[in-house]
Structure 1
Amino acid sequence: MPRVLSSEDVEAFRRRLCDAAEGLFAERGIEAVTMRELAQALGVSPMTPYRYFKDKDAILAAVRTAAFARFAARLETAMAVPADPLHRSRNAGQAYVDFALAEPLAYRLMFDLNQPTEGDYPELQAAIVRARRTMTVHVEAMIAAGLLDGDAELIGHLFWSVLHGMLMLQLTGKLSPAIDPARLRALALTTLVRGLGIAAP
């Protein structure tokens, strides 16, 4: 008689599937993330993963939902530290970098994966919206404080684009060995701040 799984057992195995999906993505790319490969990686029968997720898209959506939630929470915490708007913006930028470097696989799955079925997963959509909100809220605070003038959404995406581009070059090993990634980020963001005419408080 098969053992009855508790909700904790189910959640634990779902997490193992998600971890295995991240690992396969890192080793061999998204094409390697199949239900059969996941089952083999966990040493279970080919049908076992289907008892926990509908298909591989559902697993990827779960992985990305959790990653976006962790990412958003990290930035929200950084921006909640009492400080003037400019320093909260800097805190958010540092939290962004820290997350990407601490969890490079999750970061790449979040932003580097085109998942056509995203719209089928409301929790993933909500997590993406929450994360995207962190890209503009710090800019809105600077505008409200009179430190900056412009479209918060556009400027937030400008900061995001610059950070993301540099981080992806770093994470994929495309930067020249002579380039210090931290110095590159500092130079880029300082130049961007000056170009936007952000006034120091």
Structure 2
Amino acid sequence: MPKTLSPDDIQQFREAMRHVAENAFATRGAEGVTMRELARELGCSAMTPYRYFRDKDEILAMVRAAAFNRFAARLEAAAQTAPETDHSVVSEAYVAFALDEPHAYRLMFDLAQHASVYPELAAASQRAWRMLGEHFERLVTAGILEGDPQLIGYAYWASLHGFTMLALANQLPLPQVQQPAGAVNSPTREAVFAQIRRMLWRGAQAQHG
């Protein structure tokens, strides 16, 4: 008879599976991963994961929800320390998360799963978007930015996501620390990012007088 699982047993197994599955899904794609492979990589029997998860899609949803929650926590922490008139801290936190956790970031946005089937995933993704929305609502309310906060938020999100995906694909200039000697006039990835922030900020700034 199978051992009765305690809450700690369940949490420990799920966390171990999350680490294994995040790498597997990110490197091989959702279709390229099986429950049997995940069990083998975790070092357990082929049937053990079914004691904790319905199927592979539920594991994927758990991985993505955890990533969204870490992402939202990073943005929330940045927003709490940012001066009221400064948007750059949140933007930098957004990109930093993606560069620190590229597997997690790709899984967050490269895939779609039904919110009604995976409410924890839906809540985690909404947490991240709600944080961005509230950040720009405060700036509009304070008269620093002008326009629809949601529209501004989506514009920032789209721009930051585009920059981030190009950076992850190594399609942008090298960071300053990797620039070759003598590349005096070559732009850096940091310079591109700074230019994007300036363009977005100036475009949304409220015009006074």
Tell me if both proteins adopt one fold, taking TM over 0.5 as the criterion: yes
Q: 185, 190, 196: which one pairs with 2:198?
A: 190
Aligned pairs for 1:105-144 (under 5 A) are: 105-115=103-113, 117-144=114-141
CA drift at 1:114: 2.2
CA contact (8 A) 2:40 2:46 kept: yes
What amino acid sits opposite 1:187 in the alignment? Q
Aligned pairs for 1:63-74 (under 5 A) are: 63-74=63-74
**TM-score normalized with structure 2 length:** 0.86
CA drift at 1:98: 1.6
Kindly report structure 1 stretches of 4+ aligned residues shifted beyond 6 Å: none
Match of 2:24 in 1: 24
- Report the secondary structure of 2:132's partner residue: coil
Aligned pairs for 1:1-150 (under 5 A) are: 3-81=3-81, 83-84=83-84, 86-87=85-86, 89-115=87-113, 117-150=114-147
Residues 72-109 of structure 1 deviation map (CA, whole Å, 9 limit, x = unaligned): 1111111112622x22x222111111211111111111
Residues 38-58 of structure 1 deviation map (CA, whole Å, 9 limit, x = unaligned): 012112221111111111111
CA contact (8 A) 1:53 1:59 kept: yes
- Report the secondary structure of 1:120's partner residue: coil
**TM-score normalized with structure 1 length:** 0.89
What amino acid sits opposite 2:96 in the alignment? D
Runs of 5+ consecutive residues of structure 2 not aligned to the other structure: 175-185
Runs of 5+ consecutive residues of structure 1 not aligned to the other structure: none
Compared CA separation, residues 10 and 175, structure 1 to 2 (3 A): same
- Report the secondary structure of 2:144's partner residue: coil
Identity of aligned residues (%): 50
- Report the secondary structure of 1:136's partner residue: helix
What amino acid sits opposite 1:130 in the alignment? R
Residues 169-188 of structure 1 deviation map (CA, whole Å, 9 limit, x = unaligned): 11122335565322111111
Number of equivalences: 197
What amino acid sits opposite 2:32 in the alignment? A
Compared CA separation, residues 100 and 82, structure 1 to 2 (3 A): closer
- Rounded to whole Å, the distance in 2 between the matches of 1:100 and 1:125 is 20
Compared CA separation, residues 176 and 182, structure 1 to 2 (3 A): closer
- Rounded to whole Å, the distance in 2 between the matches of 1:170 and 1:63 is 23
Compared CA separation, residues 101 and 198, structure 1 to 2 (3 A): farther
Q: 161, 180, 186: which one pairs with 2:188?
A: 180
- Rounded to whole Å, the distance in 1 between the matches of 2:207 and 2:19 is 44
Q: CA RMSD in A?
A: 2.0
CA contact (8 A) 1:72 1:130 kept: yes
